[in-house]
Amino acid sequence: MKIVVIGGSGHIGSFLVPRLVRAGHKVTNVSRGHRKPYVDVPEWKDVRHVAADREQEDRSGTFGDLVAGLNADVVIDLVCFTLESAVGLVEKLRGATGHLLHCGSIWRYGPSRKVPIPEDADLPPVGEYGIRKDAIARMLKAETAGGGLATTSLHPGHIVGPGWQPIGPLGNLDPEVWYTLSAGHALKVPDGGTALMHHVHADDLAQAFQKAVEHREAAAGEDFNIVAPSALSARGFAGIAAGWFGREANLESITWDELRASDTEGHAETSWQHLYRNHCFSIRKAESLIGYAPMYEPEEAIFESVQWLIDNEQLRVAGPLQAGK
């Protein structure tokens, strides 16, 4: 098939585009053209590249026409963040493209009440990003249910892979957390560290997109949670990560007010956003309908990312990695 991937040079596309090429599809990557893929593999030589600034094209009302003009059988949209942009694309692809796949987010769901969370859970989103992603997913589902364009929404957890820093044990991107754990120093963890986070390796997410393309009839009109087979609590995550450096986690439980009072770098709010949702998701629907089969447990995916950062001198730690799982 002819497949257009919008934003194909980023975290997901770096794994997805080569997968699609290996499967025999003709792939066009639409991106601003400023970023090299995170994974440089030979398949990229067979990819057609079209440079486009989506935000600028959306403002001028030309982006949908640009994508529709590529005459694809399938469009995979990895970088849509507003309902207006999604609607504009749907209106141009309706009747011209067979299948539109959208990358959503687990933040379309608010704080958990019961886990694991299925796709039909009634958990109203909180925060602008989650509200927008939920609105897009609902619009796409209604579009297909109404006899329009065949659409599918995939909602990933916290995406992990080599080349960028993962959401860490405190639910933020503070690199000092890794030094603290590797050195055996005390790590201050809010509310006992019981809150859950659900990660996913970028290649597992890419696999899910490929499966949804290949099982269009089962995927059309559906949305799927795409995460690792299990989730990590903050304290469990910290304990596993400390073990990679031959340490035991030295955890000190503090309140959220204490964390905010001690925060000088602005990481506390990011921690709150990730941890108070307390997310753990079911992947049963994706497994049964499209054959999703994640290869990475969350700690395996995170270890790969941390190892890459250390090997490329982008993360300061107190000692070498000794083991990883």
- Average pLDDT by stretches of 10, the chain with 325 residues: 96 97 98 84 95 94 97 98 97 95 98 98 97 98 98 98 97 97 97 97 98 98 98 98 97 96 93 97 98 98 97 96 73
Amino acid 192 reads G
Q: Which of 190, 130, 128, 178 is nearest to 155 (CA)?
A: 130
**C-alpha–C-alpha distance, residues 133 and 151, integer Å:** 15
The model carries a pTM of: 0.97
**C-alpha–C-alpha distance, residues 59 and 85, integer Å:** 9
Q: What is the pLDDT of residue 324?
A: 61
Q: Which of 227, 107, 210 is nearest to 160 (CA)?
A: 227
Q: Could you tell me if 303 and 317 are in contact, meaning their C-beta atoms sit under 8 angstroms apart?
A: no
Q: What is the pLDDT of residue 323?
A: 74
Q: What is the pLDDT of residue 31?
A: 94
**CATH T-level assignment (fold) for domain 2-159+199-226:** Rossmann fold (3.40.50)
Domain boundaries of the chain, sorted by first residue: 2-159+199-226, 162-198+230-278+296-311
**C-alpha–C-alpha distance, residues 101 and 209, integer Å:** 8
Q: Which of 178, 180, 182 is nearest to 165 (CA)?
A: 178
Q: What is the pLDDT of residue 40?
A: 86
- Do you know the residue count of the chain? 325
Q: Counting Cβ atoms within 10 Å, is residue 25 exposed (0-12), middle (13-18) or buried (19+)?
A: buried
Q: Euclidean distance between the first and final Cα of the chain, in Å?
A: 37
Q: What are phi and psi of 134, to 5 degrees?
A: -65, -40
